[in-house]
Amino acid sequence: MNKHKNLRRHSLIVLLWLAAVVGPPPAAAQISKADSAAVLLSAARQIGWQGDAKLARELMRHVVREFPDTPAARDALSLLSTDRARDQATSGRAGLIVSNTLFGAWLGVAVPAALGAETPSPYGAGLLLGAPTGFVAARLFSDQNPMSSGQAIATTFGSWWGTWQGVGWRDLLDIGTRKETYCYGEFGEQCGTYEVDSHRAPFAAAVIGGLTGLVAGGAIAQVFEPTAGTSTTVQLGSLWGSWFGFSSATLMDQTGEDARLAWSLIGGNVGLLASVLATQHVEMSSGRAWLVSAAGVAGGVAGLGIDLIAETNDAQSAIVAPMLLSLGGLAIGVALTRDFDEDARVFDRPAAALIEFSGKSVAFGPVIPTPTLLPAPGQTGPDFRLGVRIPVLAASF
């Protein structure tokens, strides 16, 4: 395999030299660029047909970067755009298959529990069937419906968010809880009525909520086709909404597990809706969304450290520092990463040299020798000779 790759690379260099040798004289430099770009694009296509797609893309990017005003550059850009769109359209396939395999394994345990299974056999059968079913179903679906990373994240988020919401609201509304009366005493003369929570209801709610969320998330992903940044922002925004809902309930001394659970559930859904609205005005990449959340987590952990140092014992006082510092961390994260996506767009293309500096960012690119004509002194004035350009460093400040 390496011998074949080396052969193709040597062939590419030969083509580069040929492009310069057969090109027109220096007086027609623009035509020479067009001819060289056309030869390079032809070589890129040939390399792609031979199976080295990565090298072919690198060469087409080189044509776009070095010969931007030529017809070959426009053709190369069109090919790259089509290739990028195809990659993005299917980039979520692996993630979807992995997440649904795990979700299928979870259903293999949750469904028997929801049906009240009391022996190990149903759970064994569930595990035996659940994960493979999830794998096969996700693969068949992704084969028929190409899915981007953003769509996969939205679908996966829908399944586990629906599970959490199903379990939470069932517990809050006491769905499945029944009242039973017990009598005791020598003649049963003393009776009491008690609430008995069902062991099956939480699992049933988890299954129903998870499947509902999976279907809803998949449908939304197919209709709106969110980017990876949008899906990640909504996912993290929902988690932050849950945290701020819980911390607000604690701060306002909303006693009881039900109160804090209710505030967490409502806060999470408010965070989800707020994130969806925010992404309509500010599009954030997946990387930036994670960095902002990391800053928020750092703030919350710092608040917890303050509580430990101050030895705060009261719940209301203890929640203040983590809540405020996590909010401040999110704000600082947004401010510090305001240029993150701009820098990423600069290097959405390959670097113009082996090392390229642009502001505070650095990128690395392939070193591809380029045929060129170099000025040289001649007997009758300036002359040009065949040469090779090797881009090593490109910098802008």
Segment 99-144, tens digit of pLDDT: 889 999 999 999 999 998 989 899 999 999 999 999 999 888 888 8
Looking at residue 99, its pLDDT comes to 87
Backbone φ, ψ for residue 127 (5° rounding): -65, -35
Mean pLDDT in residue range 370-395: 59
Can you read off the two tokens belonging to residue 237? 């925004």
What confidence tens digit (pLDDT) does each residue in 313-344 have? 888 889 999 999 999 999 999 999 888 776 44
User: In terms of C-beta density within 10 A (0-12 exposed, 13-18 middle, 19 or more buried), how is residue 229 classed?
Assistant: buried
What confidence tens digit (pLDDT) does each residue in 221-250 have? 888 888 888 999 999 999 999 999 999 998
Which range has the worst mean pLDDT, 2-11, 258-267, 283-292? Answer: 2-11
Can you read off the two tokens belonging to residue 300? 């919350």
Looking at residue 21, its pLDDT comes to 40
Q: What band does 358 get if pLDDT is binned at 50, 70 and 90?
A: low
For residue 70, pLDDT over 50 is answered with yes
H/E element, 192: strand 190-196
Looking at residue 377, its pLDDT comes to 63
Looking at residue 326, its pLDDT comes to 96
pTM of the model: 0.65
Q: What band does 78 get if pLDDT is binned at 50, 70 and 90?
A: confident
Give the other-Cβ count within 10 Å of 116's Cβ: 12
Q: What is the mean pLDDT of the chain?
A: 78
Question: Cβ(125)–Cβ(114) under 8 Å?
Answer: no
Task: Classify 373 in phi/psi space as left (phi over 0), alpha (psi -120 to 50) or beta.
Answer: beta
What confidence tens digit (pLDDT) does each residue in 189-212 have? 677 666 767 788 899 999 999 999
State how far the Cα of 207 lies from the Cα of 127, in Å rounded to an integer: 15
Amino acid at 275: S
Can you read off the two tokens belonging to residue 251? 């701060």
Residues 324-358 as b/e (b if ≥16 CB within 10 A, e otherwise) read ebbbbbbebbbeebeebbeeeebeeebbbbebbeb
For residue 391, pLDDT over 70 is answered with no
Q: What band does 148 get if pLDDT is binned at 50, 70 and 90?
A: confident
Give the closest residue to 130 by CA, choosing from 153, 149, 102, 151.
102
Query: Could you identify the residue written with the tokens 């003369």?
Result: 189
Query: Strands 355-358, 393-396: parallel, antiparallel or unpaired by DSSP?
Result: parallel
What confidence tens digit (pLDDT) does each residue in 277-298 have? 998 888 888 888 999 999 999 9
Looking at residue 356, its pLDDT comes to 61
Looking at residue 271, its pLDDT comes to 95
Q: What band does 74 get if pLDDT is binned at 50, 70 and 90?
A: confident
Query: Strands 370-378, 361-364: parallel, antiparallel or unpaired by DSSP?
Result: unpaired
Question: Cβ(293)–Cβ(240) under 8 Å?
Answer: yes
Classify 361 as helix, strand or coil. strand
State how far the Cα of 271 lies from the Cα of 358, in Å rounded to an integer: 36
State how far the Cα of 53 lies from the Cα of 47, in Å rounded to an integer: 7
Instruction: Kindly give the residue spans of alpha helices, DSSP state H, lying in the chain.
Output: 2-21, 29-49, 53-66, 71-90, 93-114, 120-144, 149-173, 201-224, 228-251, 257-279, 286-310, 315-336, 340-346
Percent of the chain exceeding pLDDT 70 equals: 69
